[in-house]
Amino acid sequence: MSTDIETEKPTPEPAPEEGAPARRSLAAADWIPSVKTTVAAILIALVIGAILIAFSTRSVIETLPYFFSYPWDFFSEAAHAIGTSYWALITGSVGSWHAIATTLVRAAPLICAGLGVTLAFRAGLFNIGAQGQLVLGALACGYVGFSWDLPPGLHLLVALVAGILGGALWGGVAGFLKARTGAHEVITTIMMNYLAAALLIYCLGKDAFQRPGSDNTQSPPVADSATFPQVGNLHLGVIVAFLAAVLVWWILNRSTLGFEMRAVGANADASRTAGMNVPVVYTTAMVVAGGLAGLAATMGILGHHDSLSPTMAGSIGFDAITVALLGRATPLGTVLAGLLFGALSVGGVAMQASAASTPKELTEVLQALIVLFVAAPALVQGMLRMRATDENKTVMAKGWGG
């Protein structure tokens, strides 16, 4: 008895010489709709932000009672407030070499931590724990930085490696639990964020981490020999962050490990059937992701000659999730998203100091709006009547299936 498989005729392979150039052209053009949608999402967010700026400015609000008598007053005041704020945003983030350097320094940790989240996404894992991995990286590199006595250069290298290993260890625990017990990485990484924060407080209460002569929960600053070389306010860590992006791109697109990560992220069951060791891939992905978050920690501690404190991590680890989503889980996209968020962060301070006195919180609203629209391409395409593309498939959907 014949089966469908037996009667199915084999599909002839296309001639590579004639079809390859056309396929390459098509592949090269595939990213254009995605970029158009992303740019449209950012523009929509800026338009909504402009409306919020206008209605948060006192001089604009004061024109509302007589709007129907003198509407021009409202529009002129609103245009002045919006123009002043956005001009301050641009000049404050990229208007001078100092501003550009500050933006790059602010973006570096976001890029590193975002790359960790991106890499985990590609392996089908939703790494919520970048914040905890960053804290452990900061603990490790900070301790080496202020307590070890090593020659310059070597001290920086050892502290840098310690930070990466600290984050990798914390990420590896979540990966190991996922691989061996099936514990969902979202739950474990959230809990490990709390554990990392508690561990930081505990360590800062110990003599080994306390600053001599101070009652504050703050460690001594790292030694000069363990800090990144600086030119102005730009330090070597920025270059390290971009090199990390190249490394992640190479891992994902040129290495066997990256192929296995992408295969497992696409379909873990099929990858297991094909002979891949899925638990090892999960663990390795989380180790590398944690190491990148630990690298992000070194940007602050070793880049700013900083010390350990309960608030030194800020919200970089959580912002990294947003950066990775905005970058559509690609290394290049993550770098660009990190730069955008760095510019918004630096420019937000300039907006607050401008004549319009725009609240800095509005830049956070702008960030949230950008992510909202980028994460919902169908909404943007519907608003602008753009042609729908395959990008409507979100990246996060693969991360929850493991």
Question: Which residues touch 90 (CB under 8 Å, ≥6 apart)?
Answer: 347
Let me know the angle formed at the C-alpha of 113 by 271 and 27, rounded to the nearest 5 degrees: 55
pLDDT above 70: residue 399: no
Task: Please state, in angstroms and rounded to a whole number, the distance separating the CA atoms of residues 110 and 318.
Answer: 9
Q: How high is the pLDDT of residue 62? A: 87
**Hey, CA dihedral for 303, 309, 315, 320, is it positive or negative?**
positive
Q: Helix, strand, coil % (nearest 5) of the chain? A: 75, 0, 25
Mean pLDDT over 6-11 rounds to 46
> Does residue 234 or residue 306 have the better pLDDT?
234
**H/E element, 231:** strand 230-231
Q: How high is the pLDDT of residue 13? A: 46
Q: How high is the pLDDT of residue 119? A: 94
pLDDT, one tens digit per residue, over 253-297 is 999 999 999 999 999 999 999 999 999 999 999 999 999 999 999
Highest mean pLDDT among 253-262, 320-329, 389-398: 253-262
Q: How high is the pLDDT of residue 111? A: 95
Q: How high is the pLDDT of residue 172? A: 94
Q: How high is the pLDDT of residue 327? A: 85
Q: How high is the pLDDT of residue 110? A: 94
Length of the chain (residues)? 402
Mean pLDDT over 327-353 rounds to 87
> Does residue 361 or residue 132 have the better pLDDT?
132
Q: Which of the four pLDDT bands, split at 50, 70 and 90, describes residue 2?
A: very low
Helix (H, G, I), strand (E, B) or coil at 235: strand
pLDDT above 80: residue 4: no
pLDDT above 60: residue 359: yes
The pTM of this model reads 0.83
pLDDT above 50: residue 168: yes
Mean pLDDT over 199-227 rounds to 87
Mean pLDDT over 319-335 rounds to 89
